[in-house]
Every structure is written in structure tokens, then in C-alpha cells.
Amino acid sequence: MSAADDEVVRFDNVGLRYGADREVLSNVSFTLFPGSFYFLTGASGAGKTSLLRLLYLDQRPSRGAIRMFGTDVITLPRKRLPDFRRRLGVVFQDFRLVPHLSAFDNVALPLRVTGVREADLVKPVNDMLDWVGLSHRKDARPATLSGGEQQRVAIARAVIGRPDMLVADEPTGNVDPDMALKLLRLFEALNRLGTTVVVATHDVHLLRKVPDSLIMRLDKGQLADPTGALRYPPRPARRDGGKA
């Protein structure tokens, strides 16, 4: 097995600029390993959202190399992107739920897109809503849900396909501290099942809530310590829920 087989993502000297402006990310290099939990933090404007857009393949870099699941994603043909993105789960800060669909139908959407039969998706969707504590709200539309409830629906939708990597952009930014901790516990539970988790946050209090997590700090578009702990594989989470 090669070293690349033990990597989920590798960035090598990645730079990103929009138009003719200065780079918003510069010389960014790191490796993400399977079954690990990462926090991405930094001041407002540090480049967190731009880095996440690269991670969930919404943006291509201006320079440098990115490999994901052993594949060069910069040269990946666009026709292969949809299948590739199904290995990723994304939780947006603004939820991005479909307003005219119920909680159930929002969570079911990724399965329907991939052609899962209606009879086969009812149980997994109900199980997922139960996992996030929203079985009793499955028929509710987003406008009638609280911010915390909408975020939990967004999390359920992001993980219904059991992604290899989950990327969450400020998922606790619109909820109170108690709900923020509950959402974090959901990410931890998913991580214990083997999913690599990346959570962007400005909330420094959350960083101490996951003892085995690694912290990526962005400062003006650069990783503050690109040669630090991210070079080496952390202890991966075990699928049986225990510690490695």
C-alpha cells in the first residue's frame, strides 16, 4: 500500500486568487488522513471559506496540486465530478435547504438524485432524522424550523450517503452554545464511524471539545504552521466507536 492510499486529501503549494486580486490562499500545503477530525480556524477573512470551497470541489486553485482519494482533482474531467462529489458531504453555514420541501424530502434528496427507489429510501431517511433528533419534525418545511433544527436537517442531508469526508462551514455560527455542542457531538459520532471530518469555526471554545482533533490555523491565507502536526497521521477513529 502506498502512502497515497492512506491519504484523503493532499494540498501541495496551493494558491487561489479571484480575478486579478491578490491571492486569498498562498502556498497552502497539508494532508488529511482517513478517520480523523480537523478544525479549520482563523480570523474573519483568513481564507477559511475559500479553502473549504477547494475541499468540496466548488472551486479550482490558481496554482499548486490537489489530490483527493488518490486522484488529481485539478485535471479531473467535469463529467466525473458528480460521482466524485458523492464521496463528500457538505454542511453550509446558511443551510441551503430547499424551502418547498419537508425535512424528510430535503434529507432524501441526495438519495433520489442517485436513483434510489422510494421504497428503499424511507427507512434510511427516517433513521437519519431520528439520529439528529428530528423524527417528530419530518413533515415540517424549513421556514417552520428553528435555526438549530435547520442545521440538523442540513447535517442529515450531508451524511445520508455515508460520505468519506464531511466538510462543515461554520456549522455552529447560527445556534446557541448548547445546540453548538449537540451539533459537534453529531460530527464526532460520524467521525467514530470512520468519516474524515473538517469543521471550519471561529469559536475557539469548540476546539477543546474534541481531544483527538487537529487544528489548522489560517492567517492571511496561509497555514500558520504548515510543517506541524498535519504532516503526520493522527490516531484514527475506530469504527467500533472506541479509541485507536
Tell me what pLDDT residue 19 has: 85
Domain boundaries in the chain? 34-60+82-215
- Half-sphere exposure at residue 1, Cβ-oriented, CA atoms within 13 angstroms: 4
CA distance 235 to 116: 35
Give the Å distances, CA to CA, from 124 to 85, 129, 138, 160: 20, 9, 13, 8
Tell me what pLDDT residue 228 has: 44
Tens digit of each residue's pLDDT, the chain (244 residues): 444 558 899 999 999 999 888 899 999 999 999 999 999 998 888 899 999 999 999 999 999 999 999 999 999 888 888 888 889 999 998 899 999 999 999 999 999 988 999 999 999 999 999 989 999 999 999 999 998 899 999 999 999 988 999 999 988 877 788 888 888 888 999 999 999 999 999 888 888 888 888 999 999 999 986 444 444 444 444 444 444 3
Tell me what pLDDT residue 26 has: 95
Sheet containing strand 9-16, edge to edge, reads 25-32, 9-16, 63-68, 71-72
3-state secondary structure of 90: strand
Tell me what pLDDT residue 103 has: 97
Here the cell at position 108 is 432524501
What CATH class has 34-60+82-215?
Answer: alpha beta
Tell me what pLDDT residue 5 has: 59
Question: What residues contact 227, with CB distance under 8 A and at least 6 apart?
Answer: none
Tell me what pLDDT residue 209 has: 86
Tell me what pLDDT residue 4 has: 53
